[in-house]
Amino acid sequence: MVADALRDLGHEVTLVEVVTEGDVTTAALTELGGTGVFAGALRKALLDGQIDLAVHSLKDLPVAAADGLTIAAIPARADARDALIARDGLTLGQLPVGARIGTGSPRRVAQLAALGLGVETVGIRGNVDTRIGKVTSGELDAVVLARAGLQRLGRTDEITESIDPLQMLPAPGQGALAIEVRSDDEGVLAAVAVLDDPDTRAAVSAERALLATLEAGCAAPVGALAEVVEEVDGSLLLSLRAFVGSEDGTFELRRSATGPIGDPVAVGQELAATLLEDGAADAMSAPGSRPPAGPSDPKSGGAPNPQLVPSDSVEQRS
């Protein structure tokens, strides 16, 4: 899509396929530390001069910037919602108690649990084919995937419900792409800049500022969605909603904030502060994130709540 857009602008583009660690590893992504298992190889190829621009799924990019690299464009976002692919055309509300839903994402597990449907989640990994195959084969009743990924593969026909963000907030950055280039490559920076969508950039900046302020690890059950909305008087605002919860569904926080589109980072930071005041840190004390505050006695202090430890078979970190 990015190559076609650049060709339409008269540029010559060659596609270079780069296999990332996230593509080949069979380890649970929640255990790989959130250091960019999908981004690392692409970033190395950029810095080595093997490629001139990298196209990432924004939600796979660590919130910390990479030295020597710049996000030159964030194109208009695809549908940010999560999608359910269930047997027999079922929606979430129609799934029977005890239904088995495939997802390893702590964020999806926590929000499914918070809905109180009595469904069971099963950790899965693998590409889209593998995951949908577990429904087709009857091994699982349903799987949850990002709608944007299915859209890019032309497989939206198989979706049985696009899940309302009121029920499940997507991962920060979900549905958006990030085009990264070398910071000193002025020619490519300028060529790519026209693909930037300012509203999308503002929205994902708020979502990622929230994530950064929460110091949420890759295993953190955090959902966030920012949208440009119209106030009653017609002026435009950035509206940010967020979820933090525990994977067993016993704890959930949903909060929202609004602010000027011109300062998305402040909106994200403000909402993160509210979530932390209201106890978000407790829900995020899983491996890979900060130890819970408490006594320094190692027997009682640093151990994560076992109910928050992600399962050992995980499909993704989002």
Which residue's CB is nearer to ligand PBG, number 33 or number 292?
33
**Residue of the chain from 43, 59, 81, 241 that contacts ligand PBG (CB under 6 A):** 59
Output the smallest distance, CB 151 to ligand PBG, in A.
Answer: 9
**Residue of the chain from 30, 60, 92, 264 that contacts ligand PBG (CB under 6 A):** 60
Residue 173: left if φ>0, alpha if ψ -120 to 50, beta else—which one? left
**Residue of the chain from 175, 221, 245, 268 that contacts ligand PBG (CB under 6 A):** 175
Q: Which residue has the tokens 């006594």?
A: 295
CA 251, 209, 82 angle in degrees (round to 5)?
Answer: 55
Is residue 318 a contact residue for ligand PBG (CB under 6 A)? yes
**Both structure tokens of 274:** 């509210």
* Span of 52-60, 159-167, 207-215, 302-310 interacting with ligand PBG by CB under 6 A: 52-60
CA distance 219 to 33: 8
Which residue's CB is nearer to ligand PBG, number 241 or number 259?
241
| Residue from 4, 8, 60, 67 carrying the catalytic annotation | 60
CA distance 204 to 83: 20
Is residue 169 a contact residue for ligand PBG (CB under 6 A)? no
Which strand (E) or helix (H) includes residue 84? strand 82-86
* Span of 54-62, 217-225, 287-295, 305-313 interacting with ligand PBG by CB under 6 A: 54-62
Which residue's CB is nearer to ligand PBG, number 175 or number 223?
175
Q: Which residues of 268-290 are buried (b: 16+ CB within 10 A; e: fewer)?
A: bbbbbebbbeeebbebbbbebbe
**Residue of the chain from 46, 124, 148, 210 that contacts ligand PBG (CB under 6 A):** 148
Is residue 57 a contact residue for ligand PBG (CB under 6 A)? yes
Question: How many secondary structure helices (H) and strands (E) does the chain include?
Answer: 10, 11
Q: Hey, is 22 helix, strand or coil?
A: helix
Given a contact cutoff of 8 angstroms between Cβ atoms, the answer to whether 283 and 308 are in contact is yes
Q: Which residue has the tokens 């907030």?
A: 169
297 tagged catalytic: no
Residues that bind ligand PBG (CB under 6 A): 57, 59-60, 145-146, 148-149, 174-175, 316-318
- Looking at the annotation, which residues are catalytic? 60
